Structure 1
Amino acid sequence: MNSLYREKVTMARIVIFFLLLIGTVGSTYHEDVYKLSRKLLDGYNDMIRGSKDLSQRTSISFMFNIIKIAEYDEVNGKLAIVGFFFLQWEDYRMKWDPDEYNGTNNVMFESKDVWVPNIMLTTSHSDFRKLGTDDVPVRYDNEGTSYWSPADVFTTSCTPNIYYYPYDTQNCFLYFSSWGYSLYEVVFHSMRDDVNTYLYSEHGLWNLTATSVFVFKDTTNQINSMVIKLTLTRMPTFYLINMILPIIVIGLLNILVFLLPAESGERVGYSITVLLAIAVFQTIASDKLPHVSRPQISLLCIKLLIDLVLSVLVTTLTIVSLYFYDMPDSRRVPVCLQAVCRFILCKKCCSNKSEDKYDYEETYEIYKIENGKQITTSISLSDVRKSEKTDVINWTDVGRCSDIVFAIFSLLAFIASNVAFVLLVIIK
């Protein structure tokens, strides 16, 4: 209920301010406003606060209104936003009786002629300058209440945390401090706990997901600050289509190198082409990110490095596989390697099945004469065919076996790399 009441009071003040900003009451004459202005500025010192008792603090109520995000440069850590403040305070020197000036109940001065709080953006990215300009008007009502709405393009430093790029969320802080006034002279009070986004226009890349406003008091340095926190979430669709999906597809191409015939002579060139493509994407990603190592480097850069290492490994395994294919037949294949290849290529199994096919074939008798004697011998058709069959593993079989093993290894490494990246992004 108190929060709702404060909202209504705040909106009422804003409405009153803008009504006053439109102009004075129709019955007010130029001469009356001129006389009032001269009377109020007579002996006025714009370096003295508007408190009657200077031992008391000047209380400044404020509200920040954001219009749009002009730019967020992650490489340089610069955030530029367009917005304006609504500030209100009391100045006892600006009180008058409206009846004495033909019903004039408000008057306006340039900020260079009256006292305004000296506020600076202390988290500025490039240069320090005070809030507002000398020609920004300050309006007063007959009760001495000041209304000031300085607008600007505020450029602040915001070092990004790019670990989850392009699925990152950035928290940027703008500190507006009362420069030259201690905590016992000027104090800030926020009219609301968040930024007014009524006039806000959406950005094409960043979503303004949350805002907060609070007052920070540095008792050590006697600095009073208005703090505006903006939470920006990147929209990753562009990067998903133009960077992440192509990287995944190129990584998948690494596995297909083992399907190319060894006789084609294109395996090494194919694998090196994929390696260079991954290196190009790594360069593109690094150019779009700030060159920092704190707090963390990008998870996408780590994934690209892993893909690059895997591509180098696939190229090496391709060369090893071709080495098996080109091994001379005069060199005997080790027994252990034969056993592994028989298991992978199912050679022994196929040999047993072919033997079973001829177990019941007929036996034939063959007669021949040696030294004038007739000799009878028997021969089985299955024996003849078994002699023609062989389960000896050659180096070509070893090359085929290595292709299968290396392709499965590359596929598992590819799946593990991408699943780990997705899980880390999801559970952030």
Structure 2
Amino acid sequence: MESFNKLACLLILFYMLPSCKCATIAQSEDDRDFRTEYTRQREELLNQSNYDPKVRPSRSTNVTIQLHLHSLNELDIGSQTLSTTIYFHITWYDGRLTWVPPITEIECIAFTIHEVWTPYLSVRNNKYEKGLLGIYEDGPIPLRVCNNGTVEWIFRVTPITTCQADITHYPYDTQVCPLEVGEWNHPLDEVDLVPLEFVTDSFTTDEEWDLIPPVSLSRKTIHGIGGLTFRRIEYYLEFKRNPNWYIPLLIIPVGVLFILLPCVFCLPSLEKQLNYLLTILLSFTVYFTFVSSRVPSVSSSTCNFSVFLAGVMVLGGVFTLLTLVRIRHETKIRDRCPERQMSNTENTPLHLVNHGYQGDGERS
């Protein structure tokens, strides 16, 4: 019985092999026809009417821009910079790149920016990186051209843009950072930028900052050199700091030190009061240094928390000065007392000695 089953399996495989081989050959022929037609269509589009990628599609071209915020990499308040990862979705119409889909139904073809016309876009407030969008060290990002003449360009950028920080309510602050996108080569009458809604659906939440939707935008006209006007789109990203990390490490310790500062006068000895004050001032100095490292050295706003720490340190300095004056005053009083009076009043509190009381409780 086992031999019969093996024989049956061999017969089935023998009859299936030709059909599989035919299917593989048919698939290979279909792929070869697709590649041939794809290559022919690309060459035909580029060769027809001597297509020049340096010439824009029409006298006035509208470029549609839609931004997708992917993640917040870093919002550095000290250097006043914002690092984000953004996907650009750019579309425009080029009537020279149209065709009727053949039997292979090729509806879209990929090109590079060296083969077809592309707008000269850039992030205007980029602090470090310079150059056009969509061009990287490993080569330009390809474009997708469909048979109706629509050119679609999708690429990812990680700009580090300038962001003027407002640290008034630190660490409960909210920062509004602009992102400026513009066309720097063609004036407004040649290429116009049409912004669409800023998309934040795929945004990855940050542990320190929360994005406040929606992202507002403005479409501005910029006057350049020679009287030319250019289009610029400004997006305003608003982020609110999450203070949960600062409450146990900054707010509560500073509050406890502020409450403990007036308790210095509860100590009986002036020397102990002085040591107590110096310890409190040292702790405030540590927190003041921490806050100073987190806020920009030059800013149009003043941090209220820094002002509070500076005021507390001034108050502690006044308490320390008063304590030193009291120590100096009581030292002079002790130096003026004769040895006989000091021996009779060595167990009498100093403020009673100043009023003329002796050690036996009688007034002198």
TM-score grouping bracket, smaller chain normalisation: 0.7 to 0.9
**Alignment correspondent of 2:114:** 112
Query: Does the CA contact (< 8 Å) of 2:66 and 2:88 recur in 1?
Result: yes
Query: Which of 74, 85, 88 is the aligned partner of 1:85?
Result: 88
**Alignment correspondent of 2:143:** 138
Residue 322 of structure 1: CA displacement? 4.3
**Alignment correspondent of 1:225:** 232
- Provide the rounded CA distance (Å) in 2 between the counterparts of 1:319 and 1:398: 20
- Provide the rounded CA distance (Å) in 1 between the counterparts of 2:119 and 2:231: 12
Which structure has more relative contact order (CA 8 Å, sep 6+)? It is 2
**Alignment correspondent of 1:208:** 211
Q: Deviations over 1:362-397 (max 9, x none)?
A: xxxxxxxxxxxxxxxxxxxxxxxxxxxxxxxx9616
1:109–1:397 distance in 2 versus 1, CA, 3 Å = farther
- Provide the rounded CA distance (Å) in 2 between the counterparts of 1:329 and 1:222: 84
3-state SS of paired residue (1:149) = strand
3-state SS of paired residue (1:285) = helix
Are 2:290 and 1:289 equivalent residues in the alignment? no
Counterparts of 1:6-405 in structure 2, within 5 Å, are: 29-42=34-47, 43-51=50-58, 54=59, 57-99=60-102, 102-133=104-135, 134-192=139-197, 195-210=198-213, 211-219=215-223, 222-262=229-269, 265-292=271-298, 294-322=299-327, 328=333, 396=351
3-state SS of paired residue (1:107) = strand
Query: Does the CA contact (< 8 Å) of 2:179 and 2:236 recur in 1?
Result: yes
Residue 297 of structure 1: CA displacement? 2.2
Query: Does the CA contact (< 8 Å) of 1:27 and 1:103 recur in 2?
Result: no
- Provide the rounded CA distance (Å) in 2 between the counterparts of 1:330 and 1:110: 94
Q: TM-score, normalised by structure 1?
A: 0.66
3-state SS of paired residue (1:161) = coil
**Alignment correspondent of 2:361:** none
Residue 324 of structure 1: CA displacement? 6.2
3-state SS of paired residue (1:31) = helix
- Provide the rounded CA distance (Å) in 2 between the counterparts of 1:398 and 1:67: 76
3-state SS of paired residue (1:254) = helix
Residue 115 of structure 1: CA displacement? 0.9
Q: TM-score, normalised by structure 2?
A: 0.78
1:106–1:28 distance in 2 versus 1, CA, 3 Å = farther
- Provide the rounded CA distance (Å) in 2 between the counterparts of 1:71 and 1:397: 64
3-state SS of paired residue (1:111) = coil
Query: Does the CA contact (< 8 Å) of 1:120 and 1:177 recur in 2?
Result: yes
1:176–1:156 distance in 2 versus 1, CA, 3 Å = same
Residue 304 of structure 1: CA displacement? 0.8
Q: Deviations over 1:153-207 (max 9, x none)?
A: 1211112111211111111111111021101111111222xx2111110011111
Residue 26 of structure 1: CA displacement? 9.1
Residue 138 of structure 1: CA displacement? 0.9
Query: Does the CA contact (< 8 Å) of 1:59 and 1:187 recur in 2?
Result: yes
Residue 102 of structure 1: CA displacement? 3.5
Query: Does the CA contact (< 8 Å) of 1:324 and 1:398 recur in 2?
Result: no
- Provide the rounded CA distance (Å) in 2 between the counterparts of 1:181 and 1:27: 42
Residue 103 of structure 1: CA displacement? 2.5
Aligned letter for 2:83? A
3-state SS of paired residue (1:150) = strand
3-state SS of paired residue (1:173) = strand
Q: Deviations over 1:192-231 (max 9, x none)?
A: 2xx2111110011111113123322214551211222100
Aligned letter for 2:184? W
3-state SS of paired residue (1:29) = helix
Aligned letter for 1:108? A
Residue 260 of structure 1: CA displacement? 0.9
- Provide the rounded CA distance (Å) in 2 between the counterparts of 1:215 and 1:50: 23
Structure 1, gaps ≥5 residues long: 1-24, 332-393, 400-428
Query: Does the CA contact (< 8 Å) of 1:174 and 1:227 recur in 2?
Result: yes
Query: Does the CA contact (< 8 Å) of 1:28 and 1:103 recur in 2?
Result: no
- Provide the rounded CA distance (Å) in 2 between the counterparts of 1:50 and 1:246: 64
- Provide the rounded CA distance (Å) in 2 between the counterparts of 1:197 and 1:71: 17
3-state SS of paired residue (1:125) = coil
- Provide the rounded CA distance (Å) in 2 between the counterparts of 1:206 and 1:219: 35
Query: Does the CA contact (< 8 Å) of 1:89 and 1:145 recur in 2?
Result: yes
The number of aligned residues is: 305
Residue 323 of structure 1: CA displacement? 5.3
Structure 2, gaps ≥5 residues long: 1-29, 337-348, 355-364
Residue 330 of structure 1: CA displacement? 11
Query: Does the CA contact (< 8 Å) of 2:72 and 2:83 recur in 1?
Result: yes
- Provide the rounded CA distance (Å) in 2 between the counterparts of 1:184 and 1:83: 28
